[in-house]
Amino acid sequence: MKAQQRQFWVPPGAPVLPSPGEALQDVVLLQAVTHTLHQQLLSPTRIRGGLLFGYQEQHTLHVLLASTAGAPTWYPDTPRDVLQIDPRFTVGWSEALATLWPGRVDWIGNWIIHPDSQSAAAKHDHRLVRQGHTLGVLDDRSILLIPSWNEGVLEFRSYTLDQEGQAEELPCRVGPRSPLEVMQTLSTARDARMESSPEH
């Protein structure tokens, strides 16, 4: 699981070593994810950030779940970076999803909302991406998803890191499949792998 391999400190500006496999080119959000984040934007006491879980299929990252950051009492009263989420929470979610879909669904990044909920200039988004890199929560196989209002219209921006450790925006769209359809597809693939394994 990615959460167990997490680097908690990456020197600022250090090159991002390419991960094995195909590079990310676009992001697909499950409708349930967009609904969750839409509700956070509407809430006056919204949680400003959380975790993302999903899987990569060829060049596309599929986002299946957006969580909160956990209980507020887990964090000290002093201000913290919104991207700093209790690693035990990250590991707990990852283990639960890995039990259901081993080797398939994992922690794939974080989401964050700007303080005023509005779309910001790209330089502000890029600053958050650099923070994610410094904290070790963002690499070239994960994303930072920023939901916001852009002139009253719901907007999602997704960023990953290029090999120079700089922010790279990826096209982001909402997928047509329902959560049930996606879960059935993942479960069918899981069962097929289990049946073909030498232990069966």
Maximum mean pLDDT: which of 6-15, 99-108, 144-153, 181-190 = 144-153
> In this predicted structure, what is the pLDDT of residue 173?
94
Here the tokens at position 82 are: 């919104």
Question: Residue 173 and residue 197: Cα distance in Å, rounded?
Answer: 35
> In this predicted structure, what is the pLDDT of residue 181?
74
Predicted confidence (pLDDT) per residue in 129-161, tens digit: 999 988 888 888 899 999 999 999 999 999 999
Burial class, 151, CB count within 10 angstroms (exposed 0-12 / middle 13-18 / buried 19+)? exposed
CATH number at residue 41: 3.40.140.10
Q: How many domains does the chain have?
A: 1
Question: Residue 15 and residue 109: Cα distance in Å, rounded?
Answer: 19
Residue 73: give the domain boundaries.
2-196
Amino acid making up residue 43: S
Average pLDDT taken over every residue of the chain: 82
Query: What do you get for the CA distance between the two ends of the chain, in Å?
Result: 24
- Cα atoms in the Cβ-side hemisphere of radius 13 Å centred on 194: 12
Maximum mean pLDDT: which of 55-59, 63-67, 176-180, 192-196 = 63-67
